[in-house]
Structure 1
Amino acid sequence: MSEALVKPVRLLRTRTYVWAAGAVLLLALPFYLDRFWLQAGLFAMAAAIGAIGINLLTGATGQLSMGHAFFLAVGAYGYCVFAGDGGDGLSGLGLPTWLAAVLAVLVAGVAGGLFSPIAGRLSGAYLGIATLALVFIGQHVMFNAHDLTGGSNGRDVPPLSLFGLTFDDSELVVAAVPFGSAEKLWYAGLVLLTACALFARGVLRGRPGRAMNAIRDHRIAAGVMGVPVARYRAAVFVLSSMYAGLAGVLLALVFQRTVPDYFGVVLSLEYLAMIVIGGLGSVAGAVVGAVFVSLLPQLLTRYSDTLPLVSAPGTGGVAPGEAARYLYGAAVVAVVLFLPGGLVRVAARRRVGTDPGEER
């Protein structure tokens, strides 16, 4: 076999081994990690699902959205309303929780569909301002529609039940290891994230992805080539909304309580930071950026006693949440200036090797 063929085969084998080792590691983690790390990982998975959705819209299609938090809230509260039985004095339909999760994602898609005519015709800062209005509307509804949302106090999240397994804190012993809600949800989160990533990757690598990139690069030229620009923009907005709705459902299941304060403008800005830091238009970039932005404040909170300048909230120093925003804000500036392709571009360059012809 020639050297030209040996190198790609070796690279493929290496990547296969790396992916296999990573999969085994992720599957084994619930047997060894405590609840904090599992919840942090689940939070990162939910963030990654939402980041993939906004990357399809903003990174691949070039549509700026600052209303992603609104659709996460629709998913989270939609699940609570569909699955709740009204025992807490709040409105609930008492549906099976798996069906409630599906309907919550569909409702988020419907909400995106209602907004899609605007998304199909606006672009750039105009669409960003229009979607920002959704967050303010959502905040008003969440704080005032007490029967649905519980107001400022939020509402409890019914645990998910699927195939006779309830994803709550009732212990399930597996290989002498007690599995609570975090351990059970870990595998559900892995399945959902994998499915979402593979679907988005297929979209981006197929004909829709090429059309989306053409719209992003030059809208008028894409229209001249026969791409239905408004239709694609509207469809991608709906798909992005459904991704956000699924992320909201998973977040609600992890936190076990939804509160309106979480789904604000800051959350939408964090999702934009995720895709910029990780890499615009890339599924892997969305995942990497989500892990970075979502885990950073939790790590700073965890180790605030040992880190300089960082202290617990109310003690006079820089709070972990504020420090995290400073750090990933600086990361956004650094990426924009020095790594336009995001962190995944660095990994791609390392995989290519030292041959400058291959790197191009």
Structure 2
Amino acid sequence: MSEAVTRTEQPARRSVRRPAFLARRRTYVSAAGAVLLLALPFYVDRFWLQAGLFAMAAAIGATGLNLLTGATGQLSMGHAFFLAVGAYGYCVFAGDGDGADGLTGLGLPTWLAAVLAVLVAGVAGGVFSPIAGRLRGAYLGIATLALIFIGQHMLFNARDLTGGFNGRDVPPLHLFGLTFDDSELVVAAVPFGSAEKLWYLGLVLLLAGGLFARGVLRGRPGRAMNAIRDHRVAAGVIGVPVARYRAAVFVLSSMYAGLAGVLLALVFQRTVPEYFGMTLSLDYLAMIVIGGLGSVSGAVIGAAFVSLLPQILTRYSDLLPLVSAPGTGGIAPGEAARYLYGAAVVAVVLFLPGGLVRITARHGRPTPQEDT
């Protein structure tokens, strides 16, 4: 009898130890990753820092789109419009109106200009949210796609604000007595330019945005958003204010896009209208599908994949078959990247519906037998 009791206790003890081990392993991996990210500006060159900054900005924007499309089920193909509002809003608020370029600028403190640009992007989302609340599925996607054409027309023709086809310079950010420009700041015998300084700003913004979005998804708002996505009528019957939640999520997603636009503008140091086109919106949809719909980690993984792939192909185009500079007979790195992550979208839809984040979840979560 005692032998039988001992045998039944052993699996229970293993099931207790296993989650504790996984939690410790996840903590160690997270700590090592944090140390690595903090140390990178001291060891890698400017190319990799800028590539990482583009990935951070993309991850912030993809997190907002995942709240809207992945968690709430509202298809948006106009995400690039709100990124443009954030980028150009920052330039207008922070720009000097007395500059030699003759462009409109309010000359506000740059930190305040960044905050106002994010808020204006949220206001733009709020203005469009009543239209979004009346439409669903492909009809909503088409309506948001119209924002791209409207935005492109404004960016190319409102020359006093946007600089037209040539765009406009981006004023460097001034925060806590530090200027995020190319003026060198020596830290531990390493010269810090704009990329090194913005690296830590990008990490802070990404961490704050990711934690806030995760809190939303894990709390009561997240459950309400998922209910609206799964069955809008049933969500209304059980007391979820559907219209209010859909409008609020649209505003929140637009603010995430505005923040990503501000960070992109600071990294590029110049805004150009053609960047904020339909292709950028499709890239963001690819990010959340590849990474995983409705998941913050999925948005980060998908954003890193889609944003880093063309830059890596460009960097190593001489070493890759069939990939070469435009006009040389091969496939341009940008086109090759779109082929690859287009194939990745198809593969994820067919074989891994939960996105790449499902792979990490499988390795980090105990099996059903271990749970019991």
TM-score between both structures, scaled by the size of structure 2: 0.95
Which residue is equivalent to 2:4? none
Which residue is equivalent to 2:23? 12
Shift of 1:3: 2.8
Map Cα deviations across residues 258-310 of structure 1 (whole Å, 9 max, x no partner).
Answer: 00000000000000000000000000000000000000000000011110000
Contact 1:157–1:252, Cα closer than 8 Å, also in 2: yes
- The yes-or-no answer on 1:21 pairing with 2:29 is no
Which residue is equivalent to 1:309? 322
Which residue is equivalent to 1:224? 237
Which residue is equivalent to 1:41? 52
Which residue is equivalent to 1:285? 298
Q: Distance in 2 between matches of 1:252 and 1:328?
A: 25
Which residue is equivalent to 1:336? 349
Shift of 1:5: 2.1
Contact 1:167–1:180, Cα closer than 8 Å, also in 2: yes
Match of 2:113 among 93, 100, 109: 100
Q: Distance in 1 between matches of 2:67 and 2:370?
A: 27
Match of 1:150 among 160, 163, 167: 163
Q: Distance in 1 between matches of 2:27 and 2:334?
A: 37
Q: Distance in 1 between matches of 2:142 and 2:82?
A: 16
Contact 1:98–1:160, Cα closer than 8 Å, also in 2: yes
Q: Distance in 1 between matches of 2:128 and 2:334?
A: 32
Amino acid at match of 1:58: T
Amino acid at match of 1:196: G
Identity of aligned residues (%): 86
Amino acid at match of 1:352: R
Which residue is equivalent to 1:349? 362
- The yes-or-no answer on 1:50 pairing with 2:38 is no
Uncovered stretches (5+) of structure 2, i.e. residues with no partner: 1-11
Shift of 1:350: 1.5
Q: Distance in 2 between matches of 1:172 and 1:237?
A: 40
Contact 2:61–2:256, Cα closer than 8 Å, also in 1: yes
Q: Distance in 1 between matches of 2:371 and 2:267?
A: 41
Which residue is equivalent to 2:125? 112
Map Cα deviations across residues 18-74 of structure 1 (whole Å, 9 max, x no partner).
Answer: 100000000000000100000000000000000000000000000000000000000
Map Cα deviations across residues 94-116 of structure 1 (whole Å, 9 max, x no partner).
Answer: 00000000000000000000001
Shift of 1:352: 2.6
Amino acid at match of 1:125: A
Tell me the matched-pair count: 359
Q: Distance in 2 between matches of 1:112 and 1:89?
A: 29
Q: Distance in 1 between matches of 2:132 and 2:212?
A: 22
Amino acid at match of 2:129: S
SS of the residue aligned with 1:13?
helix
Amino acid at match of 1:225: I
Which residue is equivalent to 1:72? 83
Contact 1:349–1:359, Cα closer than 8 Å, also in 2: no
Which residue is equivalent to 1:187? 200
- The yes-or-no answer on 1:125 pairing with 2:138 is yes
Contact 1:120–1:232, Cα closer than 8 Å, also in 2: no
Which residue is equivalent to 2:212? 199
Uncovered stretches (5+) of structure 1, i.e. residues with no partner: none
Which residue is equivalent to 1:325? 338
Q: Distance in 2 between matches of 1:181 and 1:62?
A: 38
Shift of 1:255: 0.3
Shift of 1:356: 5.3
Amino acid at match of 1:327: L
Match of 2:72 among 61, 64, 87: 61
Contact 2:15–2:371, Cα closer than 8 Å, also in 1: no
Over 3 Å counting, the alpha-carbon distance change for 1:225 and 1:252 in structure 2 is same
Match of 2:43 among 32, 41, 44: 32
SS of the residue aligned with 2:186?
strand
TM-score between both structures, scaled by the size of structure 1: 0.98
- The yes-or-no answer on 1:233 pairing with 2:233 is no
Contact 2:15–2:370, Cα closer than 8 Å, also in 1: no
